[in-house]
Amino acid sequence: MRRRTPRLRSGLLVNSDRPEVAMNGIIYLVGLIVVIMAILSFLGLR
């Protein structure tokens, strides 16, 4: 039996091989980048 080790996927530590978890991590990262870019453009730093 193979032991499961945590894997680094899209910047998040994931304990399973389910694609939904990896996709949620990608969506979270893209949303975070969009929010940061919106704040920077609001402040006139972009």
At 5-20, the pLDDT tens digits run 655 554 555 555 677 8
Q: Rounded to an integer, what distance in angstroms lies between the CA atom of residue 11 and that of residue 30? A: 11
Give the per-residue pLDDT at 46.
Answer: 52
Backbone angles phi, psi at 21, to 5 degrees: -65, -45
Provide the pLDDT confidence category of residue 21 given band limits of 50, 70 and 90. confident
pTM above 0.75, yes or no: no
Q: Rounded to an integer, what distance in angstroms lies between the CA atom of residue 16 and that of residue 27? A: 17
At residue 32, does pLDDT exceed 80?
yes
Q: Which residues contact 22 (CB under 8 A, 6 or more apart)?
A: 9, 10, 14
Task: Assign 11 to helix, strand or coil.
Answer: coil
Token code pair at residue 33? 């980048």
